[in-house]
Structure 1
């Protein structure tokens, strides 16, 4: 079934995507104001610096009425979470970081808690995953505001490291994964140190809990929701991707980081976070599927092989109309909620498992075909003999037709043994290639 053509996919109606350009100053003026603002900041009190100081968000007149609606909801002693979520999902999201700082915790119905029992910094730094967290955080420079002074960036990175370690220390069953820091840094920059911990803890034990298992097996299984969702939108694209053997690894960083690792525009990242924080946990997979279907022409114009298609899809264009994509994702979720497509997902997983077993059996068969001669040689070898096989009298132990290859036979024996051990290890513990860099 071809995807429906929505009138709301006309670029001329996408005022949200234009509002960030109309009211901005020139590049030189922007950089000058950034440098002045950072020069005035006290690095020692960086945790008190509001995200708007770091992000330079500007409220636009396009959403002035919406801002008033949101502020009215937030001013009440009892927050109408349902209305707040509806506004977060609708066009423009929560508009700016000043609102997000207050609204994001409320979308998850979080309340301030006493932080008295939190572990000390020394305890956090003893966590076994501390070094990996530090390595990932040090690679997250592009996620910080441009022009930020070195001292301030280092302070933010330290806060980010401690934020992550605090969550995984408080919940020992949670396992840090590469990309988790992309989620954490977005929350930290928008909501600050205290609120970001509450949000990250909630997401880690709810929305992202399957990603924080000891292995990525559950995450891999969840990614298989994408293909049925693509099929419901565009059968031609679905068939093309299946024929290529692409798989789902292209979408791994999208799902693990809520697109934080893959998008270049900060405004797009926080807009998606508005949407995801107000939605069900599997909604990011629906957005993944819509993005793929939305790029159908590019996909069908790309050679039908895994390498080319993975290269295409792993790079998300900066000009994607996310407001339109989110509208379509909402419709897709309404028409095909997770319980409706569960059967399709399980069938896909079963076929992939059967294929994996078949390929493994073929590898074993090919290996076994080369073993008879090796085993014949070994059967003639005297276990009490101290000399290695390649020092033996080859006319006695090796058939004449192979007499010139005694060194090759010895090397092959060792190699086959190592290879057999490797195959046993692979069979006992399958390893998924979950890298996304």
Structure 2
């Protein structure tokens, strides 16, 4: 039995190495690491096999194959073979990777999108495991999986980023859940930090940039202002040095402009142009605080590396994020609840586990059709806690799903009295006629 273990990011690679050390990967005669660079601009980013510490992480596996190199210049995420091509690609991959003709097990990242989904389709009879690393794994499955994939799903392996929190990913299939705990991943970060040198004199804060502008979640000016708020938080803590690490998938940012603002504030500003993980920087530099918006790095810093954290802009983002089903919503809700509302992680809660209940309700609101079994607990939570957690919900979504509280429901046109509807139509008709008359007058004057 051969196990193909796919990784598209450096953080995934570190997580998979820790999973291998902990014995959480499926048993196999040979474990093959499949590199599938997930960068949107691979030409401008460092390949996974050139990342610092790659050799020591890859040593956990029997051998390494590069799927991204095989599909170049097409990115792995663009690889989507037609049904009549699947058998051809199975033969090609078995030959290229020397897989023989025996059975396979696949350990894939998000199985809802390519290239993971494509590999599951190509190796049509392989057992499937899903590994998850970031906060998105706590959210619901975005797309309905075909029976040909779901019936082969064996289970998931996830990092316990928020202690005790259960993922909703693929929950509709009731998979086996394997958990990798914080101390197992901390060993990897500390190992990588031995060859990284980010020590700073005096007090320092680490700011983790995100690619919110590149994702279209805000414009460049809004993202810059968000980073300025992060600088202000460092200043409020009497910190003299700021380390700024841009997101690895982000495009070029206005770091020079931000450095100028930091200097005006009296802060030393250091741009970290490094391929090291944020967690490696934290383990090496030991900042007093890690500041970001809703980066997974806030959770790893707090619960894996025991570092103070501060979240900025999450309240605004909760309302701005659209559509409601956006997969960033769960990470955003988690960070806002933990680090703005001070809701304890499930493993640290002495009483009611409000975080799990909140995320269950958000998950239902995101994917109600796929998770009908969550409706009753969602209703119960909203009846009791809506006032405290209203920032996580939108009135339009509450109205559409007919959830409590009723007083937040938006009024539909059909629910308005007939006299009001009639008056509205008359006002609109009158306004339209007036606008048409004005337009004709302006046309005559122009002549």
TM-score, scaled to structure 2: 0.25
Higher relative contact order (CA 8 A, sep 6+): 1
Q: Which has the higher strand share?
A: 2
Q: Greater helix percent: which structure? A: 1
Q: TM-score, normalised by structure 1?
A: 0.26
